[in-house]
Structures are given as structure tokens and as C-alpha cells.
Amino acid sequence: MHTETAPYQGRGRRVATLALLLAIAPCAASAAEAPPPYLDTQRSFEQRAADLVSRMTLEEKAAQMQNAAPAIPRLGVPAYDWWNEALHGVARAGGATVFPQAIGMAATFDVPLMHDVSTAISDEARAKHHEALRHDQHARYQGLTFWSPNINIFRDPRWGRGQETYGEDPFLTARMGVTFVQGLQGEGADVPKNARGEAYRKLDATAKHFAVHSGPEADRHHFDAHPSQRDLYETYLPAFEALVKEGKVDSVMGAYNRVFGESASASKFLLRDVLRDSWGFDGYVVSDCWAIVDIWKNHKIVATREEAAALAVKHGTELECGEEYSTLPAAVRKGLISEAEVDKALQKLMYSRMRLGMFDPPEKLAWAQIPISANQSPEHDALARRTARESLVLLKNDGVLPLSRAKIKRIAVIGPTADDTMALLGNYYGTPAAPVTVLQGIREAAPDAEVLYARGADLVEGRDDPAATPLIEPQYLRPSADSPERGLRGEYFRNRDLSGPPALVRTDAQIGFKWDRGSPTDNLLARGEAGPDQAIPADNFSIRWSGKLVPPATGTYHLETAADDGVRLYLDGKRLIDRWSASDRLHADGVDVRLEAGRSYDLRLEYYEGERDAGIRLAWRQPGAKPPLQDALDAARRADVVVFVGGLTGDVEGEEMKVNYPGFAGGDRTDLRLPKPQRDLLEALQGTGKPVVAVLTTGSALAIDWAQQHVPAILLAWYPGQRGGSAVADVLFGDANPGGRLPVTFYKESEKLPAFDDYAMRGRTYRYFAGTALYPFGHGLSYTQFAYSDLRLDRSKLAADGNLHATLKVKNTGQRAGDEVVQLYLHPLSPKRDRATKELRGFQRIALQPGETREVSFAISPQTDLRIYDEARKAYVVDPGDYELQVGASSSDVRVRQRFSVQPSPGAEAKPRK
């Protein structure tokens, strides 16, 4: 969606809790007089919104149409920032449960589970919002309007933001997306209603980025996508259509790029003709952040800010993430847009705020009573672990897995993402209370085994990786000379300059913290290790750690700090490191010093955090430390089994990043293989002769041909969220049976892909790819086996407007309980025109005990499931002819199949699009 580059404007814009009541006072001569219509809960949301807008000045209206909407005290309108994120948990808002990244949730193929996850996310969002209101806070990331999910089609594995999506298939994307939206927005009979019977919304979800947007990241502010009409209507639009028509999504976000020459955030074709006129969307559209700037500055569609703002509003973008809409009053005065058009747009936004209950007493909404204890609750932590387990995809297993606790006494865990929390998180994440890395998960799952750890290699070539240097262990630190404790004394201050009395004093065993957008005390408060009076803000704080350093050996040590933002390190009063300035990332500084074994050195570490991301590390390399590869090989040779943990992290693939390493550019990938340092490490580990299990963290497909040929077991973990390490260990030791499936195709490294910036679908994804994949869409193995039989169709011929019912039996023929994802594909036989080779049109994840048989059924409607877009008629049509219904364990592993034919039915064909 967007990288933050503008100042954080939400802070400091607070409105007193009594603002609404104070605003009413001038409007009423007595207590008996009725409140103004916009505060009258007996009226409809639409009436209230229209009345409120009618009372605003033109300048106030323009300000309310920007994401950082200021307060209007005279009307009792509190400040509100529309910008909130919830891709796989409430993001950028401090402590929150972090579920697997979106691509991992898609790999579960579990629609009910997705609903549970999004409901948990919306519970935490409501709890955090109302807790913020209780403290009179109205900042960014504290609201109820969430710019999730991302339902762009992951058409090319090089796209860095593909991790945010539900994969390459429009049908899977639609099913997961609709369910995610319903869980966020709230649904069902128990949804609270106003006096008119209109349902309130729990949250507003946003379908993004409408509509043809999937890289390259480096060119997203400039490129113009021109897909064919077939590709547009058969690949890029269907998921958005489903979220609008089925999911009733409240908001849609326009993209940065142009589509057919128009800015996607100001496109008459997309926003008027398709979204509103054809699909009947009645919500609001928000621009991607600073996309309105692109209209005049980069796309050069118009010449001025005023023209860009007017064009966007006139074509259907009611809300801007950015500041260009501040020019709307000038645009009105210049005749570029009318005030009535501004009013119409703003009424949609105020309608949304009314429907979210923002102008109503909290007691009217049960959601307002969700306690803050719901945030990061044990139940949500358990759900995160379950979701991570279901997302894991077993790509290969030659009998090494599951591991036997009884037989394995020593395990070597080796690789650059084994103990890296970033490998759990992906992007757009919250701050988990107690993230479990794969290394931690294995240690907890095998308490009787010796677990050896070595990083072995860097994540990528040429990257300054602060996590590469080991933290100073607690046994070498003392809070004071005579203290029996291990660690350093930490003094936490509510300011940036270490001044005044500290709000909190505690002993920290190690200095290795990554708070991101959260506060250092978020998790301490949640665990009861600190009281509310000791709370530290998420920004503008400082910490001083002091104590003794007692090195174990004499020699030259490399002391290293890594901080975001400022840091100073002192040893025996001498300042060794001084970088007391802001940083846009975790920045490492190091110094070599000679230390004597057993001597006690005075150590002081000072740190401050300004805004946004926060983190600090204190690490060292001891004298005589082995080279990383040698350390890894020594550990491997001592072990009974080697678990290699590698792949990617959100540090190298993601959104418009300042990344330029071999194989990576601007957030995207230029090479689908494992980075070279990891390829070399994996080959060296395999060369030890010890059994190797590869666990891969990634948000996108990897070309791992060598590993498929030589490594006996490969488990794909994605970015598995806060309990990812526990979930991986559950599967490695057989406490859980893997059942995840690939939502994307894994190509061979020799495969020549179409040009990244070519939006034609020919040759892309399982639907159009004619070659042999390394791992096909839908692939995933299990520790048990399943047999498919008795596929029956209730008819062999049907009209285009008819329906087809299919049933089959699936049996667990193995010795373990397990989940099978039953997948239904439709394949045209002798098609009259070019079209997808086959398409997923149904799936069910079922759990079966050993020997258990389950009947599975699917309903097929040709008008929905066989439609293609006829460019001449400008309408969806169903081609008569013969088709094959295939059911199996992946797009290429078809177990049973039956033919059927569709008869001509002229009256059933879709009407032309307007």
C-alpha cells in the first residue's frame, strides 16, 4: 500500500472527552431541547451525516477528507486518523497478536479459520481503539478504519509485496478475502443496530489496491498498466467484485499506478464505470498514500495540485491519504469542482463514522465494551499458533520427518533466519508479546535434547545485518559488582534525554529489543511486570543500562551496538560509540577492545527513541570466534540431525524498499533462488552426511531445485507470525501433521518468466503456465495418505444457467490423523478460444482420523464458474462445450475426474457491461 515518508501528524491532536457535550451546549437553550440532528441517534446514519456536513465550512470539509482529519471543536467532531493497518493482525499500533503473513494464511485453505483470525483482529482493534479514547488519544493507528486486505493477484513471484496477498488465484483470493472482510466488519444477527434498524459496523475493511497493481515496486509511481480486457475481467477484477458484492466491503483503495492512462486513484473507468455503476458499490474510496501527488507530479495527467484533487474527487475518491485535498477550497473557487461535489464525497465519510458509532454513546455498542485484555490474549496466542501450524507446507519428505524425540539426542539448528524475529513477521505487523523463533520453538519442543545453534551465513550478500553478531549473554553481565542477578540495570525515561527520575527501573538479562511501533513497557504491563504508573510512551523515550561486564577470556573483543535511533556506549567511563541521532533503521556500530578474563569493567549503554520504529542490541564477538561457516559445520558434524532455517525476511522483500543486494532490487526480487550465502551453506551442510531438514521462511516462491534433488525434507514456513517457531517445532516432531498447500506456483530456476512489467497473463500462474513447475499450485504433503473415490455428478449435461452438484469420497488410508485440502478444478476440453488451462473453483480442508472416510460435495454454476469475458460483446459469457471436472490434492495431482457438457442457453448469457 504505502511507505511512510510524511511526518507523523496524528500526535498531539487530542480532543477532550467532553467535546461532544460541550458542542451541544450552544445549540440548546435548555436541557429539554433536542440535540442537533447529527447527534440524534433516532435518525438514520445518512441523515446525521448530511446534517453534520452542512454545518462545516469549505475549509473544514477539505480537512475532513484527508486521512489526518483534525478536530472541529465547535461541532464536537473529534480528531480522527483514517490510517490503520490489519494485514495479519493490528499493525503499527504497539502490542498486538501477530498471525502468519497473508500469504501464509492463504496457504491454510481454511475459510472458517480465516474468519476466526479476522474476528480476533477486529476484537483487538476495537479494544485498542476504545482504550485510546479512554486516554483521550486520537492518533494514527488508533482508529476503526483498516486498510486491509490486499487482494491483488500475485501474478509474478518477483513482486516483493506478493507476501501481503492471498496468492496467484482469483478464486482463492476471493474466498479468503470475503471471509477476512466479514470478520473485520462484523456480521450476524447479534450485530448492534440503531433506532432505524441499521446495522453498526465493527470496523471498516478496505479492498486494495484497485485494481491492476503488482509491481515492479521501483516504478509504481510511474507505470501505466494496459492489460487485455480478458485479463482484466478474468484475473484482476474478480476478487474485488466478490469483496464488493459478497463481502459488502466498506472501502476500496486506489493504487499508485495508471491503468489505461488514468491514475488508478482517479480513474473514471475503474471507480465510476466498474466499481459503482456496474457493481453497485456504495462505500467510499481512499487513495493510496500520496497517490494524488502522483497524478500531477509523476503521471503528469494534470498540471497542478488543485486539478489533481478535483479530478480525484470527481471520479470517485472521497478520502485522500495525504495532503493534496487541502487545495480543494481553491479548486472550488477556480471552478474545477463544485462544493456540492465535495459535500457528496464527505457525506460518505461521515456516514462511515456514524455507522462505526463514533458519535454515539459507547454503551450503545457491545464492541466498545471489549476489554483491553482481549489484546494479545492467551486465546489469540493459541489461535496464532494454530494458524501457523495450518499454514506450513511440507514440500518434500523422504522419511526424515517427523523427528523422533526418543532417537535424537543432539540437534543442530543452523541458518540466518533460525533466531531472527523478522523471519516471523513479514511486513505490516504489530509488536508480539513473546515471539517464538524456530530456534526457540525447537528448544522448547525437545527439552531433553542438546540443541546447537550457529547462524552459518549472512541472509544476503553485502548486507550490514545487525542481527549477525551474537548478543552478550547474561552470565557476563551484572547490574552491580555485588549483585547476584545477571544482566544490566535499566532506567527507563519518558523523555529523549535521560533526564529526571526514571519511570521504571528493572534488570534486563540481555539487551536485544525490537519494539517497532510499540512501547518498551507494552509487554511488561501485559505480563504484570510493570504498573500503569511505570508506562513508557511508544516514542520520545530513553533508556540507560549500567552495570559490570566480566569477559570470559583475554583477548580482542568486537563490541557492537545496533540501534534505531540514538546510542552511546561507555566502558570504564570511556565513550567507545557515539551515534546520538535519528536513524531510519536498526544501524550497527562496532569497536574492537582488548579485555582481560575475569576483570570487571564498568559498562554503560544509553539509548533514545524518537519516532516510529524502536530497537536496540548490545552484542559482541569473542576472541578466537570461528568463522560462521566453520562454526555451523562443526555443529552439524556433532548432531544427529541438522535443521537448516533460511530463506528471506521482510528486510529484503517488501514495499518500495531501499534495497539493492544481489538478487533484490527496491523490494522486489531479481533472482528466485536462495541467496548465494545460503545456497553455499546448505550445500556444505548436506555434505556432512548428516540428515538435513530445510525450513524456509519466505513470502514468495523460491527456486530451490538443488534442495529438491538433495535435501531429504523441506518445510515451507512463510512468515509464520508470533508463534511460528512453536508451530514449526510441532510439525517437525510430529505433534501436528502438516496440511498447508501452496497458493502460488514454485517455478524451476531455469524457467524464463515473462517480463515483470508485462501484465499479460499468458505464461503466468498455474492457469496459463505451460511448463512443469518445481512445485505446482495447491501442492503440499502430509505424514499420512488420502484416497479419493466415487466422484459423482448429478448430471452430465446442463444449460449455461443451470447448476451441477458433485460428490466424492476421501479416505485417510494412513496411520496418522491429518488434514487434506480437497481441490476442485474445471478444465475446458477443446476450447473454441484461448483461455485458462484449468481453474480452481472449489476447495475444502477436511480433518480425517486414520481409516475415516468423508463425503465431500461441491456446487458448480457455469455462469459463475465457467464464465469468460467476451471482448466483442463487452460481457461475461459461458462457452458451450465439453469440460472436465477434476478433483485432487493439487492443480497437477488430479485423483478423480468426470466430464460434463454445457449446452447453449442464449437467454442465460450475461448482459453487456455498461
Q: CA separation (Å) from 23 to 71, 72, 75, 130, 483? A: 12, 9, 5, 21, 58
Exactly one of 262, 288, 294, 820 is catalytic; which is it? 288
Unique residue bearing C-alpha cell 442457453:
905
Q: Is the separation of the CB atoms in 331 and 360 below 8 Å?
A: no
Please name the amino acid found at residue 634: D
Could you give phi then psi for residue 440, rounded to 5 degrees?
A: -60, -40
| Active-site residue, 653 included | yes
Exactly one of 653, 820, 865, 879 is catalytic; which is it? 653
| Active-site residue, 288 included | yes
Query: What would the grid cell of residue 323 be?
Result: 495532503
The half-sphere exposure of 667 on its side-chain side, counting CA atoms within 13 A, is 23
All residues at 6 or more sequence positions from 818 whose CB lies less than 8 Å from its CB, including other chains: 737, 739, 782, 783, 784, 786, 812, 847, 848
Please name the amino acid found at residue 633: L
- Beta bridge pairs of residue 746: 775
- Beta bridge pairs of residue 877: 868
Which value, in Å, is the radius of gyration of the alpha carbons in the chain? Answer: 29
The closest of 155, 175, 90 to 126, measured between CA atoms, is: 90
Q: Starting from the edge strand earliest in sequence, which strands make up the sheet with 258-259, in order?
A: 224-225, 258-259, 262-263
Unique residue bearing C-alpha cell 574492537:
592
All residues at 6 or more sequence positions from 632 whose CB lies less than 8 Å from its CB, including other chains: 412, 414, 454, 455, 456, 457, 681, 684, 685
Q: Where are the alpha helices (DSSP H) in 553-658?
A: 628-638
Element at 301 (helix H, strand E): none
Unique residue bearing C-alpha cell 525476511:
649
Q: Is the separation of the CB atoms in 47 and 198 below 8 Å?
A: no
All residues at 6 or more sequence positions from 85 whose CB lies less than 8 Å from its CB, including other chains: 1, 91, 92, 141, 146, 147, 148, 428
Question: DSSP string of 429-457?
Answer: --B-SS---HHHHHHHH-TTSEEEEE--S
The closest of 227, 241, 688, 228 to 452, measured between CA atoms, is: 688
Residues with catalytic roles: 288, 653
